[in-house]
Amino acid sequence: MGTAAETAQQTAQSTTMKKPQLSMLDLVAVREGGTPAEAIATAVRTARKAEELGFARYWLAEHHNMPGIASSATAVLVGHVAGATSRIRVGSGGVMLPNHAPLVVAEAFGTLASIYPGRIDLGLGRAPGTDRATMRALRRDRVETEADFPRDVSELQRLLGPAQPGQAITAVPGAGTEVPIWLLGSSLFSAQLAAEKGLPYAFASHFAPRLLAPAIEMYRRLFKPSKVLAKPYVMVGVPVIAAPTDDEASYLASSTFQRVLGIITGRRGLLAPPVRDFLAQLGEPERAAIADFLALAVIGGPETVREGFAAIHEATRADEFMLVSDVFDADLRLLSLEIAAQANA
């Protein structure tokens, strides 16, 4: 009893709810038959399109020793993309802090903020973003403890904040730039830390959606206002493959399916061209694993994308969607973003 009225009320609320901002996360995928230089050129072109479409920010993710990803020197790419655009915020999504000394990160992003004032973001993750052998190659031979990441985040905040009298170590450039720091995560750890520090929080639901709901619930519940943020701010990662029709989008998404299968099986490679009926060629365990990985994916034509965005926003009340769109054809990738932007209008 009263179900119809409740449904109507919920529909009205969701209709009037403010739409999330859209942003873009780029892994700078190297495509089969392509080169890292071409992947970087594609990233620049995509960032310009995102700026044209009114996206809030364009982030690049740190990975190492992966032949299909050209974003290892993340700060260098952030500067390159910022220099090729004029308004959109550019940043890391993220810098894997265990791989770097906080001072080095503060100096790099302080330099970027000095060149592109008001346009640089510093998203921080606590995973190494690579395998154990590469960790050693990155000179990470020390044993990490749970206390390291919170301590390093606090040090970065100090280094990017105003220099204090008697401060022994100062980041130059860096001190006083107060580059916005975001905490990224796929578990409850970073959600709790972001809440305690009053920082914006980005959940990596584009590849690990399972803990999305409890993580953002914890973040909002425990959030403490800070000088940088008065209330919680939630970003969620959303894989998106949009095309003029559902069938075309499903076909294009097979490039993403192949990439995910490579991650799951430990056989990472270059971004592959789409394959017709790719999922039908797999066994049930592989299909289930891909579906779990991409549980938050929105794949389809304009109306399907609109409905998908609305459902995710209804479930999460996210302030911002960070889109990931692994489309093999660069032109069709730009079209995918254009359809996504129209669906969110």
Asked if residue 172 is part of any domain, the answer here is yes
State the sign of the Cα–Cα–Cα–Cα dihedral 93, 182, 233, 202. positive
Q: Judge whether 298 and 242 are in contact, CB under 8 Å.
A: yes
pLDDT tens-digit profile, the chain (345 residues): 344 334 334 434 444 579 999 999 999 999 999 999 999 999 999 999 999 999 999 999 999 999 999 999 999 999 999 999 999 999 999 999 988 999 999 999 999 999 999 999 999 998 764 556 666 666 556 566 667 899 999 999 999 999 999 899 999 999 999 999 999 999 899 999 999 999 999 999 998 899 999 999 999 999 999 999 999 999 999 999 999 999 999 999 999 999 999 999 999 999 999 999 999 999 999 999 999 999 999 999 999 999 999 999 999 999 999 999 999 999 999 999 999 999 999
Asked if residue 13 is part of any domain, the answer here is no
At 233, list the tokens.
């701010």
Candidates 132, 137, 123, 120; CA nearest to 61 is 123
Q: How many domains does the chain have?
A: 1
The verdict on whether omega for the bond into residue 173 sits within 30 degrees of 0, i.e. cis, is: yes
Asked if residue 204 is part of any domain, the answer here is no
Residue 66, SS3? Answer: coil
Candidates 50, 14, 12, 56; CA nearest to 312 is 14
Candidates 34, 44, 37; CA nearest to 82 is 44
Angle between helices 188-197 and 148-160 (to 10 degrees): 40
121 lies in which domain range? 21-185
Dist. CA 231–CA 171, nearest whole Å = 29
The model carries a pTM of: 0.91
Asked if residue 159 is part of any domain, the answer here is yes
Dist. CA 217–CA 116, nearest whole Å = 34
Residue that has been written with the tokens 């993220």 in this structure: 94
Asked if residue 39 is part of any domain, the answer here is yes
CATH for 125? 3.20.20.30
Asked if residue 7 is part of any domain, the answer here is no
Asked if residue 77 is part of any domain, the answer here is yes
Asked if residue 304 is part of any domain, the answer here is no
Which residue stretches of 145-252 are H helix?
148-160, 188-197, 212-222, 246-252
Dist. CA 240–CA 344, nearest whole Å = 12
Q: How far is CA 183 from CA 26, 194, 200, 215, in A?
A: 17, 6, 7, 12
